Chain A
Amino acid sequence: EIVMTQSPATLSVSPGERATLSCRASQSVSSNLAWYQQKPGQAPRLLIYGASTRATGIPARFSGSGSGTEFTLTISSLQSEDFAVYYCQQYNNWLLFTFGPGTKVDIK
């Protein structure tokens, strides 16, 4: 099983600042990596797939990078609606997708 880790667990950021979230896989997942945003009481929402491709309707302030085992989600200028929990997920092993534990982005 591919184990995903995320850091930091919590990131405190002021509105308008940049946020950088990290995700690491225990073995290579190529570019088969997605990022999701989840707000309280809501289902997750796909932000990024293929490590760097924004999903439909996702603002350009969200960007993803990386391949292999190291990935980054960057939010260039945090808006109030961006405070949420972010999860990475590998889908390289098609039969057993795995999520990271999440990074909570809260207001500094």
Chain B
Amino acid sequence: EVQLVQSGAEVKKPGESLKISCKGSGYSFTSYWIGWVRQMPGKGLEWMGIIYPGDSDTRYSPSFQGQVTISADKSISTAYLQWSSLKASDTAMYYCARLRTGVDYWGQGTLVTVSS
């Protein structure tokens, strides 16, 4: 069974750093692109960027370029989304997603709350 299991909810202060994770199982992790999606409270879905764990080829949506870092460790079938300095506006649910024809599997989401 294909699964994407994300790390737990986080509460952080502005300016702090954060790295959340997404562990894939039940399939060849290095053979599918993984994407990250933001959903701010009460809002729609926003595409952030993608990574191919096989070679770590990474692409960012223009809106998120320079704001986050996407990475992967294929040895442990895990993708990451990282911030170096959080802002209150980063408060959102973040989903990882396996890409095929569209997104065929989603993680359960990681809620990130940034508040002073």
Contacts from A to B (Cβ < 8 Å): 1, 32, 34, 36, 38, 43-46, 49-50, 53, 55, 87, 89, 91, 95-102
How far is it, in angstroms, between the C-alpha of A97 and the C-alpha of B104 when the chains are bound? 14
Q: Is the CB of B45 within 8 A of A87?
A: yes
B residues contacting the other copy or chain, number (CB 8 A): 20
Please name the residue on chain B nearest to A34 by beta carbon. Answer: B102
How far is it, in angstroms, between the C-alpha of A47 and the C-alpha of B46 when the chains are bound? 18
| Main SS at interface, chain A | loop
A-side contacts of B102, CB under 8 Å: 34, 36, 46, 49, 89, 91, 97
Nearest CB of chain B from residue A4's CB, rounded to whole Å: 10
Nearest CB of chain A from residue B27's CB, rounded to whole Å: 14
In this complex, which of A1, A46, A98, A102 has the most chain B Cβ atoms within 10 angstroms of its Cβ?
A: A46
How far is it, in angstroms, between the C-alpha of A37 and the C-alpha of B61 when the chains are bound? 23
Q: Tell me if B44 is interfacial: C-beta within 8 Å of chain A.
A: yes
Nearest CB of chain B from residue A101's CB, rounded to whole Å: 5
In this complex, which of B35, B45, B102 has the most chain A Cβ atoms within 10 angstroms of its Cβ?
A: B102
Q: Tell me if B103 is interfacial: C-beta within 8 Å of chain A.
A: yes
Given A44-B103, A46-B102, A50-B101, CB of A96 within 8 Å of CB of B109 = no
A-side contacts of B45, CB under 8 Å: 36, 38, 44, 87, 89, 99, 102
Q: Is the CB of B59 within 8 A of A43?
A: no
Nearest CB of chain B from residue A47's CB, rounded to whole Å: 10
